[in-house]
Amino acid sequence: MTARRLKAAVVDLDGTMVDTLDDFTASLNGMLAELGARPISREEVIGYIGKGSEHLVRTVLSARFSAEETDARFAHALDRYQAHYAEVNGRHTELYPDVEPGLAALAQAGVKLACVTNKPHRFAVALLEKYGLAGYFSVVLGGDSVTRKKPDPLPMLTACEAMGVAPSEAVAIGDSENDALAGRAAGMATLTVPYGYNHGKAIQTINSDGIVATLLEAARFIANPVSGSGATLNR
């Protein structure tokens, strides 16, 4: 990351601010039980999440049904998955360490904040409100807020426009390759946290500008990009 003044941060939700793996697993198993299909494990879910509900449901179905059956069942399965998720959203989640202090530090430093996630907007807002984080964000975009999801840069560009900053003045913070790809394609700096999902792949495979242990470390690094805060820089 170049030593420039960053005015905004676009922060991912699942795997970056909150651990929602057990919510995903419970909702998918509710859906699969209705379909009479074998249940899914937490380990299998890790490899699928991060690209939106539609991709998640289709991938889970494809591992259990033929292509024709998957297509035939998809619309109903997606509807049932979202119904189950609405019931459990936030029930099994945990806030990752130093998330709230990190957001507070960014806000105190005058950094504008947006949350951009591939999760449906209504579920994202509910989670942010549950953990008292909604007030930090002037912009919240879900996977259904714009016409394309991450790794497409459109959500990131939309968030920057809404905050009134150029992409070159913003940093994307997330746990997966999708976040880094979307941020980089939008012309933003990128930082990665090491504790999320990343589709089951090693965090070192992500081409970002650096790895930060927590959002609080990210805040310190953004405030002082010259000396940093112990962040592991990739380049």
- The whole-number average pLDDT for the span 201-208 is 85
Q: What is the pLDDT of residues 94-126, one digit of tens each?
A: 999 999 999 999 999 999 999 999 999 999 999
Confidence of residue 5 (pLDDT cuts 50, 70, 90): confident
Give the residue from 149, 234, 157 showing the smallest Cα distance to 191.
234
CATH hierarchy code of domain 21-88 = 1.10.150
CATH architecture of 8-19+94-233: 3-Layer(aba) Sandwich (3.40)
CA 129/CA 105 separation, integer angstroms: 19
Mean pLDDT of the chain: 92
Give the catalytic positions in this structure.
12
Question: Is the per-residue pLDDT at 231 higher than 50?
Answer: no
C-alpha gyration radius of the chain: 18
Pull the structure tokens for residue 4. Answer: 């420039």
Domain residue limits, the chain: 8-19+94-233, 21-88
CA 11/CA 235 separation, integer angstroms: 21
Q: What is the pLDDT of residues 136-184, one digit of tens each?
A: 999 999 999 999 999 999 999 999 999 999 999 999 999 999 999 999 9
- Predicted model pTM: 0.91
DSSP 96: P
